[in-house]
Structures are given as C-alpha cells and as structure tokens.
Amino acid sequence: MKSKLNLDPEKVRLARELARRAGEPVTELATAHTTASIERAVLRIAGLDGADQDGMPWVNRLADAVRESVGLAHGVALPAWDALVAGGYPDLRTLAEQAAAGQVKFRIPGGSEAAAARELAVRSVAAGVATIDAQRARRTRMIGDLADPPQPWIYLIVATGDIYEDIPQAQAAARESADVIAVIRSTGQSLLDYVPEGATREGYAGTYATRENFRLMRAALDETSRELGRYVRLTNYASGLCMPEIAALAGLERLDMMLNDCMYGIIFRDINPVRTFIDQRFSRQVHARAGIVINTGEDNYLTTADPVDAAHTVVVSQLLNEYFALEAGLETWQLGLGHAFEINPAVPDSFLLELAHAQLVRELFPGAPLKYMPPTKHMTGNVFAGYLLDAFFNLCGVMTDQSILLIGMMTEGIHTPFLSDRDLALENVRYVRDAAGRLGESFVPAPGGFIEQRAKQVLGDSVALLRRISEEGLLTAIAAGTFGITRRPADGGRGLDGVISRADGYFNPASEILEAGTGDAGGEPAASLSETGASR
C-alpha cells in the first residue's frame, strides 16, 4: 500500500518495535501460568460436555475436583487422564460425575503411568482439534461453493435474549444484505466463571453464549447462506472469565469471528489483568487454528475518553493487540482491529479528523480486516440527525477502505431496535457503499494538509506513549488509567483466584498441539479478500 499520508516508515517500524517490547513481558507472564478456564477448555476440546442437575458444567466439576485434590499447577490433563486409566472409567463424563460425588482420588503420576496418561490425553484432545480443523475446512468449502461477499462487510447485531427469536431476526437481516451477524451476549455473562448449557431464552440485553446456541444459529445461517448464494458469517464474544472455553466452543461449532480483545475485559468488565492476558493468549491460539477472525475493542475507549485527545491510545492498543495476536499464531488476515467514528459532530472539522484517524489505521495495518464502529455517544434521540451522522460514518468507512462496517442505527440507545430501524440502517449503508464505494481510490489528502498533519500527530503521540509503556510496563500503564481513563491494578478485579503458576512438568495437550502449527485445515478460500489482502 502506498501511503496517502506520507507516513515515516521508520516511525511506523519503531512503533511496532516498542509494542513488542511492551508486550513481551506480558507474554512471558502468560507462558508461566495457566488458569481455571484454560484447563476447562482442555476438557471441552477433549469432548467433555453437559452439566449436572444444577446447571453447573461437568468441566467445572471435574477441574474443581482436581484442583481441590492435587491442584492445577501441573494442568488438569495429567491427573484427570491418570484417574481415567487407573479407575477404568469409560469416559470423561463418568469420571466427572464420580469426581463431583467425591469418589475419585487424583494424583500426579510419574514414570510409565504418567506416559500412559499423557498419551491418552493427547489422543483425546487431538480428536477435538480434528473437529475444529474439519469445521474450518467446511467453512472453506462453503465459501468456495457459494460466494464470499466483497468488503466492506456489513455487520449487524441481534440481541433479543431468546435464541429462537434471534434466529429469524438474523436470517431477515442477512436477506436484507447483512454479511456478518453478531449475537451479542447477555449482560453480565463475562462475569460468570462457567459457560451456561443448552439453548437459552432468558438473556438480558443479549443472548447467552452457549454451545447449543452457537450450533442453532450456525445451522440457521448456513440455511440462509445456501438460499442467498453467499456465505453469511457468525460472530460472538470470547471474553470474560470463560474466554478460553468460549473460544474452544466457537471453533467446534464453526463461528467465523469472535470479539477477542487483550484489554476490553480488564477495563470495561473489571476482569483481573493477569487472568485476562493469560486467557487471551490461549484463546487466540484456538482462533488461529480455527481460522476465526478476531475483533478487538478499541472503539470502547472512545466512549469513555475523548475521541480527539485519546486517539493515540486506540493506535497503541491496536499495535499491542497485533503483537499479542501474531505471537499467539494468528495471521494478519485474522486481525479485525477495532476503531470508531465517535468525535462530537459539533467539533470543528470533525469529519476531517475522523478521516485522518481512519486513514491512519488503514495504512498502519494494510492487510488487516479492520472493524469500524458507528457513532454511539452522540446519538441524541434526534433520529434525523442520527441517520445523517450514520451516513457520514458509512462514507468515512468506504473512503478509507475499512473492511467491516458495524451499521449504525438512529435508535442506537435501544438494545433491540425495531426491525424497521434495522432495515433503514441497512438501506443507508447500501446506498453509500453502492454510490461511493470507489471513492477511496480517488481520495488523496492534500500533502502537508490538515488530514496528513493530524495523522502524523496521532502516530507521534502513539510512539511516545508506547515508549513510556515499554519502560514502565503494560500492567503499570493499565493501572494508571492509560486506556479508557479507567484504572485497573494488576492485583485487582475478578478472576485472580483462577490464576495458577505452572509447575515443572506442567502438561497441556491442547497447547502442545496448537503451538505445533495449524495443520492441514483444507486451506483458506482464495476469494476471501480479508485473507489474501487482495483489496489492498
């Protein structure tokens, strides 16, 4: 990509180098620890499913029993599969039931007994990873058999709380041109230290993320994809205290995108920072294997901090998210880095500022499928002004070659807006995309002009902040309220009790398989612009 902003390549290189320096100590922290949810994710990939009569998943019951008996410092796999062999249990479900009843004695085996437990655990987990591989290959085949819509993809949220209401709404949105359907999670699910089981109909301001809900929506959108002759993508949220488990379920049920940010849960849900960074690394390894595009949450910073003054914090977070993602095995085409159109429209030259910020992000990450978020905090209830502001957002998106446009709605404050409002919002983005979709190729900011100068200022501020973070430490920066003006100390928040230091001899068969490479997943669709970078 030839820079339209005349960015200094050396400054861009320095920004990435500083992001690496800031991120490496956090990666080292992550690789020296595990969490309760990572160990439960291992059991889920190995096939342990279902819940007891109280609704508590068997993975929780089994992991808790192991932790109470011998701890999780060696991982759940070694003691669990040792007990499976020694006790002659037919499967993990039976073992979990007996463990929950206090009928199983766990130990950390050694010698040939440890080798037998390791071998069986690897075989069980490998079967689950093979399912993830098969789902990735199935996605590739479906896109090849149908079609992959051109970017920018139109992204629309459904959020009724009832999966059986979400399905017809999602199908209707796809028929009206939505390319990506996001099923927003029920409020507060990220704070649950377990994943609910089965199909759910009682979510508040969203629908619970469960394996069965994933399966139902994926099947419905497959049906609609075949009807329309184009592949419709499905998104959910891998965040919160069960981030690794939800990532695993997404891979097993063929979701296509997942909200997965390195700091969102810390800042906006008060999840412990250490827990979050450990969990996000494992979850991204799963996403890498599954061919899932992640969406990051930098847009949220601009709802709490000033979008002009804090613009550089968005870029810094994007560079950190890029480092953590690539280190975990994701490829550039999987980095749906987020940003937003949130500047107060009353600010002079607000649209020019938005263009500068959007073009800067596009040029910093030329091969990434950027996710651009619509205005929210300046939607006043004046639906006519809101509709116009959304049109400006759509115009900025197509002018700066954004990849994924989350459509804005004039009734933005309503979690579940009227279908008619969604229809009008889709009409808005379709009009702008069709009328001005090629405007970007002719959009070249004046050399030395306002847009170029603003972009360079934001990049310079980003480098300065990254230098400070690389010296002081990322956890220190988060504690100081650097992102989203919210202070989150490293020893605070929910979930710290679920962080465990790895012992010598720690064994995680899922991590070993995932870190070994993506395997033969049937390739990725050559027609997918997000994966080939062909649109850049």
Q: Annotated active-site positions, please?
A: 264, 299, 371
173 and 221 Cβ atoms separated by less than 8 Å: no
363 and 7 Cβ atoms separated by less than 8 Å: yes
Task: Classify 282 as helix, strand or coil.
Answer: helix
**Cα(181)–Cα(173) distance, rounded to whole angstroms?**
8
Tell me the β-bridge partners of 501: 33
Written as six digits, the tokens of 288 are 């890498």
CA–CA distances in Å: residue 374 to residues 26, 96, 339, 395: 31, 46, 9, 11
**Cα(129)–Cα(469) distance, rounded to whole angstroms?**
37
Written as six digits, the tokens of 205 are 């301001």
Tokens 């209830």 correspond to what residue?
Answer: 381
- Pairing type for strands 499-501 and 33-35 reads antiparallel
Written as six digits, the tokens of 526 are 């050559």
Q: 49 φ, ψ to 5°?
A: -135, 175
- Pairing type for strands 335-336 and 338-340 reads unpaired
**Cα(379)–Cα(413) distance, rounded to whole angstroms?**
8
Q: 237 φ, ψ to 5°?
A: -125, 115
404 and 155 Cβ atoms separated by less than 8 Å: yes
Q: 39 φ, ψ to 5°?
A: -65, -35
Q: 417 φ, ψ to 5°?
A: -70, 165
CA–CA distances in Å: residue 38 to residues 59, 73, 209, 502: 11, 12, 17, 12
Tokens 């139902």 correspond to what residue?
Answer: 216
Indicate the residue type of 496.
Answer: L
Tokens 């359907």 correspond to what residue?
Answer: 181
Q: CB burial class (10 A; 0-12, 13-18, 19+) of residue 268?
A: buried
Written as six digits, the tokens of 264 are 């969102």
Tokens 């969406």 correspond to what residue?
Answer: 295
349: CB partners within 8 A, 6+ apart: 450
**Cα(362)–Cα(241) distance, rounded to whole angstroms?**
32
**Cα(346)–Cα(342) distance, rounded to whole angstroms?**
11
**Residues belonging to the chain:** 536
Identify which of 336, 329, 157 has the alpha carbon closest to the alpha carbon of residue 261: 336
